Structure formats: C-alpha cells, structure tokens
Amino acid sequence: MQSTPREIDANTPSPARLYDYMLGGTDNYEVDRQIADQLLKIAPELRELSLDNRSFLTDAVEYCARQGIRQFLDIGSGLPTQKNVHEAAQSVAPDSRTVYVDNDPSVLPHAQTLIQGDPQTVYIEADARDYPAVLRHPETARMLDFTKPVAVLLVAVVHFIDDSDDPYGVVAGYADQLCPGSYVILAHVTSDDIDPELGERMFGLNSQLRVPLTYRTKDEVTRFFDGLELVGPGVIGLGRWSPDGEVDGPKRKLNSWCGVARKV
C-alpha cells in the first residue's frame, strides 16, 4: 500500500542522502555531510566505492536489458542521480518499465520530479523488508507483469536489513515471485579483508546511522543467490564485475561484493 508521506528527518543521517553526498550530489543536509566526512576521513576510498557501486548498477541493468528484460524493480532506490535505472534500461530498450521503491521520505519529491511525464516509470514508498506489500502494491501490479521476466535490484540495500529481520527470507521473497529468465542484481558491503583498525572505526560510526549496516562475508552474500544461476564472474568485488567475466579493478581496504544471477 502507498504510505502517507512522512516528515523528512533533517537531524539524523539518511542512507539515501549519504549516498547522494558520496556521489557528489547536493540533495543532503549538514547532518549527512558531517557523518559522511567522518567516514571519508577514516576511509577516503568510500567515495570511489560509491561510484563503483553506481557503475555496477547501470552495467547490470544494461546487461539485463540486452538479454531482453523490459521490467525492472529497484528496491531501495535512493535519491535520483546520474543515469538512473529507468534511464539505463531505456538507453538499451526504450519500452522498458521501472518501479522504484524506497521508504525514505527524502526520496519522494525528487523521484516524482525525475519521473514526471514518463508513463513507463513509477515510484512507490514502501519498506524493502515488506516484500508482500511491495509486490502487491497497485502501482507494481499495474506496471509489472510477473508472468514475464523481471530484473529485481537489491543494490546496496540488503546490508541495511538486520539479521533479526530475516534478510535471506526477504531476498527469497522477491526471487520466488519471479518467472524463469528473470534476474536478481545485488551488491552488499563486507568486512572481508578489512584492516582491523579501520574496521573498528567504521563499526564504531554505525551507531550514528539511522539504519546501521550489517557487514557480511562473501559466503554470506553468495547465499542470497541460492537457487539462482550466477552470470559472468559470479560474486566479485565492486569495480571488477563484467557479464563477460572478471575485469581488473582496484584492491581496496574496504570492499563490497556484487553479483547478477538468472532464475532458471
């Protein structure tokens, strides 16, 4: 169901606004910039990691569009930025349809402005964890036909789902509704190979975030793709994914795992 618009909290850092700032955007508040600058002081490569995350998203969307996908469901879409999902998809296939989903009230006005006049793109306000509400939403039902292949994006969002909220059940809840030929696109932060001192400082800042991150290992991230067929290089570090296999990428003190998988 469409939720009633909520008041924007300008006093607590927002994941969507933090990401916007990391990408060089201006739709953020002082509280977001303060925590982002603290994070960047600890790990300057966070900005490059954010840019790689965005590149992975657009590369994966364009790949799916080239495979014939014409329907995209972007869970935890965040604030609009350069080359959004519907723009990437429509650059390959102009008839592509996109449903954006986010529960951050900061996103709503910007998303509505972005998609104004585009009948193939909609935004709904909903919680990623509540997959039945997302999938049964009238706008989702109007835009997407789940008897045909759909690409579901869970890019830099599942790490905001705590273990107590059953993240594997949430991802499976979306994947179970997909027909064969559909895709799941996912990226997730990890503590693998992180410098212990850097990790301690990063984890310490978690308490200042409105939605803390849960860092998961490569094996734990790979488990999100259970029952699906991974394409390209499988689960790999951001900046190294390509549908044709692993590409050279930077070795960082921080990393996120990413992957694209097909339902067969």
Beta bridge partners of 229: 262
* pLDDT at 182 exceeding the cut of 60: yes
pLDDT band of 13, cuts 50, 70, 90: low
Q: Residue written as tokens 């982002």?
A: 36
1 falls within a domain = no
Q: How many CA atoms lie within 13 A of 98 on its CB side?
A: 26
Mean pLDDT (the chain, rounded): 87
8 falls within a domain = no
187 falls within a domain = yes
* pLDDT at 197 exceeding the cut of 90: no
Sign of the alpha-carbon torsion through 164, 16, 127, 225: negative
Structural domain harbouring 106: 15-262
* Residues 159/190, Cβ–Cβ less than 8 Å: no
pLDDT of residue 22: 72
Q: What does the pLDDT look like over 218-227, one tens digit per residue?
A: 999 999 999 9
Report helix, strand or coil for 263: coil
6 falls within a domain = no
* Residues 167/173, Cβ–Cβ less than 8 Å: no
> The whole model's pTM is what?
0.86
101 falls within a domain = yes
Give percent of the chain above pLDDT 90. 56
pLDDT of residue 4: 42
Q: What does the pLDDT look like over 100-142, one tens digit per residue?
A: 998 877 666 767 776 778 899 999 999 999 999 999 999 999 9
Count of the separate structural domains present in the chain: 1
DSSP character string of 60-110: HHHHHHHTT--EEEEET--S--SS-HHHHHHHH-TT-EEEEEE--TTHHHH
* pLDDT at 1 exceeding the cut of 60: no
Q: What does the pLDDT look like over 16-41, one tens digit per residue?
A: 677 777 777 766 777 778 877 877 77
242 falls within a domain = yes
Q: What is the mean pLDDT of residues 57-67?
A: 97
pLDDT of residue 47: 78
> 67: domain CATH number?
3.40.50.150
* pLDDT at 53 exceeding the cut of 60: yes
20 falls within a domain = yes
* Residues 64/56, Cβ–Cβ less than 8 Å: no
Pull the structure tokens for residue 194: 């992180």
CA nearest neighbour of 210 among 130, 126, 105? 105
58 falls within a domain = yes
pLDDT band of 177, cuts 50, 70, 90: very high
Cα distance between residue 32 and residue 29, in whole Å? 5
* pLDDT at 158 exceeding the cut of 50: yes
CA distances from 161 to 52, 73, 93 (A): 22, 18, 32
pLDDT of residue 2: 39
Pull the structure tokens for residue 102: 């986010």
CA nearest neighbour of 29 among 16, 46, 44, 41? 16
